[in-house]
Amino acid sequence: MECGIVLHEVGLRDGLQMEQQVVPTERKIDWIGRLLDAGIGMIQVGSFVHPGKVPQMADSDILLKELRARGMLRTGVTFSALVLNERGLDRGLAAGAGMLCMGVSASETHSRKNTGMTIAEATGRIIAIAGAAEAAGLRVQLSVQSAFGCGYEGAVPRARVLSIAREFFDAGFRTLSLADTAGHATPDSVERMFEGLREMSARSGATPGNGGEAAFACHFHNTYGLALANCYAAWKAGVKYFETSIAGLGGCPFTKVAGGNACTEDLVHMLQRMGLMTNVGLEGLIALAGDVAAFFGRDLPGAVYRTGAVPEAG
């Protein structure tokens, strides 16, 4: 039995952006190949941002071109990347990204630290960039960041999150992610927020036969230990796309308290124990997580790569 979840591996982007030790391009290509071998078909390989601000992403253009040149972009595989502005869009198009991810923070403080813009400025700009990306034939995923709280401001009003989402829907975009940048989400708040989005998408016409059905994604950080619980709540609320990171790597450098992402192999382990995911190779992910930890020379936040999977009964 499959659970309808699509894993979107973000370790190569969100996972690495906090790391001081730069990962060589060849090592990234090896890790991506092993993710593909394990059955992960959607991988965020980098971000088109200023290399001086995020040195780990300086090779994103080269990396995407190399993946395509080596035939690693196979049927059913999507290589995504993050963009923040028009220059990033141009680079993403030139490099051959299959999907571009971009978003707006629901926290004024986080928005200014992350983009130098207010929420209103960022929303208008991102909608325009997303429209240009779709016009060029790319898939687009828009996100509301700090959707469940902000490390600087604390609680973020639910109405503000839904207001940003409404602007995305009204502009015709149908794939929307909620990102728990600060790790403040709880399972009940996750269910309520996605229920609100689903009601809104229905009112906006995001239904089959009328612009396409809305598809929801989630991006949880494990800052306070609730990432897997929040993933389960999102699944119950009908979320399809789950952004996770190998070994639990990650953290936003522009939030107050950075925490790792929901861990890819830990989520797969949980779902497989529940009988809900059989199309992903857990052993390959565990081996890769161990090698990533060895590369950085320290234990990483993930649990299962250190403990091993629970033995199957029988």
pLDDT along the chain (314 residues), means of 10: 83 93 97 98 95 91 96 94 95 96 94 88 96 96 96 93 96 96 96 95 60 86 96 96 95 58 97 93 98 96 96 72
* Spatial distance between the Cα atoms of 67 and 79, rounded to a whole number of angstroms: 9
- Going along the chain from its start, the domains and CATH numbers come out as 6-307 (3.20.20.70)
From the list 101, 150, 218, 252, the catalytic residue is 252
Phi then psi dihedrals of residue 219, to 5 deg: -140, 100
Tokens of 225: 């230990």
Euclidean distance between CA atoms 14 and 246, whole angstroms? 10
Q: Tally the residues of the chain.
A: 314
7 CB neighbour count, 10 Å cutoff: 24
Query: Structure tokens of 243?
Result: 């952004």
From CA 129, how far away is CA 83, in angstroms rounded?
9
pLDDT at 1: 45
Amino acid at 105: S
Q: Is 131 helix (H, G, I), strand (E, B) or coil?
A: helix
What letter does residue 203 receive in the DSSP assignment? H
Give 151's Cβ-side CA count (13 Å radius): 20
The per-residue pLDDT for 209 is: 39
Q: What are phi and psi of 242, to 5 degrees?
A: -125, 115
Q: What's residue 251's pLDDT? A: 63
Cα–Cα distance measured from residue 186 to residue 289, given in angstroms and rounded to the nearest whole number: 26
d(CA 50, CA 53): 6
DSSP letter for 204, please. T
User: Rounded to the nearest 5°, which phi and psi values hold at 9?
Assistant: -70, 120
Provide the Cα torsion 5, 235, 44, 212; round to 10°: 80
Burial label, 309 (beta-carbon count in 10 A; 0-12, 13-18, 19+): middle
252 included as an active-site residue: yes
| Ranges assigned E (strand) in the chain | 6-9, 42-48, 78-83, 99-105, 139-145, 175-180, 215-220, 241-244
88 vs 301: CA distance, rounded Å = 30
Residue 20 near residue 249, CB atoms below 8 Å: no
Q: What is the pLDDT of residue 80?
A: 98
